[in-house]
Structure 1
């Protein structure tokens, strides 16, 4: 980035709510992040409260008037929830429909019936990647772990040989591919095009999940050779096979949002005329909210009706699906508030000005910032929204392709080395019956491989497109 472009961006940027210099802003950022880390790790405070207090700390140390800090935080929270809240809710509804109808079981059983021997790890990564598209990571773990344990026991496979590919598929989808909350928040923060980000995210995800899943699982199985724990009994949505939705219909329903969003991106590239009727139609049906809403409505007929759900059962299902996401919505919203506080105090502009003199690519800088916050907080979502707020100004003069790659660099960094401050670390440990050391050798290393490989691919793509 040239000095001229930096000066132009500085002229266009809104007036900061504080006149603090770079040193004071730097201290304020470190203090704000330190408070968030301390409250989450030491005092076990919910991430929503930690992010709120961290934002106030950042603003206070930066010398901003408290009323303006509150306004910035509230505006960021409201904008973020308005932008992704409905999408998170629709994704949760679709995931619940998929699980309760037996559609997820149908996908799993169909693929497993056609796989065996050496192809089983590849089957597991395919299952996890497909099912992981509409599901939050934690929901995906709860849904897939019983299947992993059952397959490992039934086929006498090493648990790591089957489990690592499944975990890799879920994790890669969670960090890189919309409509997951992290990528959506980053897309909104840096102003990236969702369709392009989705297409490039899938492109990055495929080799990443292969290396971190089936390939790495060979070594993980040698390092940690453990059987499936007997106490974890698989539980399935339904054993009534005749009441399950069909495989094709289920797969179509799951992939429909992705198909619509990719179709919009393709039409935008081919037509490239905002006034063209075809492009305008696809701009609507390919919008994330419409795409997910269409999938949910289609799912009523392709998932719930074949499973015997009456009209009276649909409303309670939707209600149950929304309750668990309250915490996620609050965390994402507070992350948006923290992001806006960073921007309004001038921290984003500071990063832009300082990085102009650094011999480090913007994408690598974004990855590194996300890595540091991920290691400190243990939350991929917190790392994503915080890093996106810090590096958002860097995307101002980027092409739409490179802005999308910036989002993916942040997402890749947010997955780096899950350890003891990450809830996912303990979920995997307990479900698989591993020691802390065994979990680090397998799960933590797998997450690091995902982060490094995806980050490397993003940097390579930035050189050729």
Structure 2
């Protein structure tokens, strides 16, 4: 098979995947499965070999990210029920002294989306953004632009979010360094995009959803206390951030420990143990559970308000309700990520990939841009950051040596590429438009454009760091 025929087959496969998801309205898991079968047969495998490759890719990806997604989803339920997301938003409101309030929920989304799947973060931050919009008369165009961009950046660039985690594991990239540089690049892209688009995003007035702001009035003054969201029983900001930040800090610290501590020493063993992604996230969940017991009344109030049950014990809510809701939330990203890994596994076993890599390496295109453009093109076609990232990662994997990229650089380049262009075939696009009160045209304007700008700023920053030899 020639590189040209491989590219034609790949283009047909992506077009088929896009058709199944967008036109036929087929579930992404089934669409990915059928596309993987067709791709495997078209690449010269028999049916048994194709199914074996699918099983191998699905199981391998699930093994790498399955427990992580489940733990992250349980953690998200705790953040929701304890009011932690509201506390984090209040912290940023006070930090900016009640000004540039679009940054409060946007930075909340930026932080929360690191261990929590992006769609969940949208649901957590939408009511907060709506209330702040009502209090300070900030258009939902500004709120949606920077919340969607903020959560997209950490969703696409910072493990242990499932998609970027699976890519990092596929490439053997150091997780701590991926988290560190992913956070740095995401931070640069976030504020770069905010500075560029802040005035543009505020030009159109869009009301918040009425059901989110019922009972709330516009602030009577510019006082910070008039702006923040007052709810009884909220945890303080430090406690609210701990469950989210602890896993990230532990994983990152373990990577630096490997560099600066003596190999074989007890200290290194300790820090690499607690920095294991599953153990680190488990510690984050433990802190969430402790926060739940500490804020038991808040947890029970939220449970009563959402379910109607009045006499449920807090331990039943935490160990029963949180887990069952978390598993329900985890199922879809779990299956989509694993099936995306199955399709990616099909591609990376194609022998012609190495020949294609040599051709690409011989062009004048900067090597760091190859994963970026590959992920961007697939993202435009399939609409899922996870699917696009894993598919691009499988295509680029055999090219890494030819391109001369480090695993961390290639991982983050793909992450930046998945920011371009989220549009009508992205399920998250429709969740955001629904919860942030946007019509389709406004969604394309205030969700698609800021993410694309952030992805471009991100790849520019990454290119500079790579050229300096830092990554």
Q: So what's the TM-score if we normalise by structure 2?
A: 0.88
Matched, 1:443 2:447: yes
Higher mean C-alpha deviation, range 408-417 or range 34-43: 34-43
1:26, distance to aligned residue in structure 2 (A): 2.7
1:417 matches 2:398: no
In structure 2, the partner of 1:17 is none
Q: Superposed, which structure 2 residues align to 1:217-232 within 5 Å? A: 217-222=198-203, 224-232=204-212
**1:189-338 aligned within 5 A:** 189-213=170-194, 215-222=196-203, 224-233=204-213, 241-242=232-233, 244-271=234-261, 273-308=262-297, 310-316=314-320, 317-338=322-343
Correspondent of 1:36 among 17, 27, 43: 17
Deviation at 1:311, TM superposition (A): 2.3
1:389 alignment partner, one of 381, 389, 394: 394
Q: Which residue of 2 aligns with 1:454?
A: 458
List, as ranges, runs of 4+ consecutive aligned residues in structure 1 with deviation greater than 6 Å: none
Alignment length (residue pairs): 441
Greater Cα shift, 307-316 or 49-58: 307-316
Deviation at 1:251, TM superposition (A): 1.6
Which of 376, 387, 395 is equivalent to 1:371?
376
Equivalents in 1 of 2:75, 2:82: separation in Å? Answer: 11
* SS of corresponding position for 1:119: coil
Question: For each residue in 1:78-119, what CA deviation from the matched residue of structure 2 results, as whole angstroms up to 9, or x when unmatched?
Answer: 000000111111111111111112222222234334544533
* 1:378 Cα offset (Å): 1.1
Q: Secondary structure at the match of 1:252?
A: helix
> What TM-score does the superposition give when structure 1 sets the normalisation length?
0.89
Instruction: Give the Cα separation in 2 of the matches to 1:171 and 1:191.
Output: 23
| 1:394 Cα deviation from its structure 2 partner | 2.8
Deviations 1:121-171 (CA, angstroms, capped at 9, x unpaired): 333332222222222111111111111111011112233333322222211
Paired residue for 1:152?
A: 133
- Native 8 Å contact 2:146 2:194 kept in 1: yes
Are the counterparts in 2 of residues 195 and 261 from structure 1 also a CA contact under 8 Å?
A: yes
**CA-based RMSD:** 2.3
Partner deviation per Cα, 1:396-435 (whole Å, 9 max, x = no partner): 4888x83111111101111112211112222222333333
Tell me, yes or no, if the aligned pair for 1:415 and 1:448 is still in contact at 8 Å: yes
Alignment partners' CA distance in 2, 1:199 and 1:39: 37
Match of 1:464 among 435, 449, 468: 468
**Counterparts of 2:295 and 2:209, CA distance in 1:** 34
* 2:406 alignment partner, SS class: helix
3-state SS, counterpart of residue 264 of structure 1: helix
1:166 to 1:23, Cα distance in 2 relative to 1, 3 A = closer
Q: Within 2, Cα distance between the matches of 1:403 and 1:75?
A: 22
Cα distance in 2 for residues equivalent to 1:431 and 1:51:
27
Residues 82 and 291, structure 2, Cα contact 8 Å, conserved in 1: no
Is the contact between residue 102 and residue 146 of structure 2 (CA under 8 Å) also seen in structure 1? yes
**Where do 1:77-96 residues align within 5 Å?**
77-96=58-77
Q: Give distance in 1, aligned partners of 2:121 and 2:252.
A: 23
Deviation at 1:232, TM superposition (A): 4.1
| Contact kept? 2:57, 2:346, Cα under 8 Å | yes
1:431 aligns with 2:435: yes
Alpha-carbon distance, 1:24 to partner: 3.5
User: Structure 1 residues 160 and 116 mapped into 2: Cα distance closer, same or farther (>3 Å)?
Assistant: farther
User: In structure 2, do the counterparts of structure 1 residues 208 and 404 end up closer, same or farther at CA, with 3 Å as the change threshold?
Assistant: same
Say which SS state the counterpart of residue 235 (structure 2) adopts: coil
Give the distance between the partners of 2:359 and 2:232, measured in 1 at CA.
Answer: 61
The 8 Å contact of residues 156 and 418 in structure 2, kept in 1 or not, is answered as yes
Q: Higher mean Cα deviation, 430-439 or 53-62?
A: 430-439
Structure 1 residues 459 and 63, CA gap change in structure 2 (3 angstroms) = same
Matches within 5 A, 1:32-111: 32-111=13-92
Between the aligned partners of 2:68 and 2:327, the Cα distance in structure 1 is: 12
SS in 1 for 2:210: coil
2:102 touches 2:129 (CA, 8 Å); kept in 1?
A: no
| Counterparts of 1:362 and 1:351, CA distance in 2 | 13
Query: Aligned partners of 1:289 and 1:295: how far apart in 2?
Result: 10
- Residue 111 of structure 1 aligns to a residue whose secondary structure is helix
Distance verdict in 2 for CA 1:347–1:149, change over 3 Å: farther
Work out whether 1:357 is the aligned partner of 2:362: yes
Pick which of 126-135 and 371-380 moved more: 126-135
Aligned match of 2:304:
none
Distance 2:122 2:389 in 1: 21
Shift of 1:323: 0.8
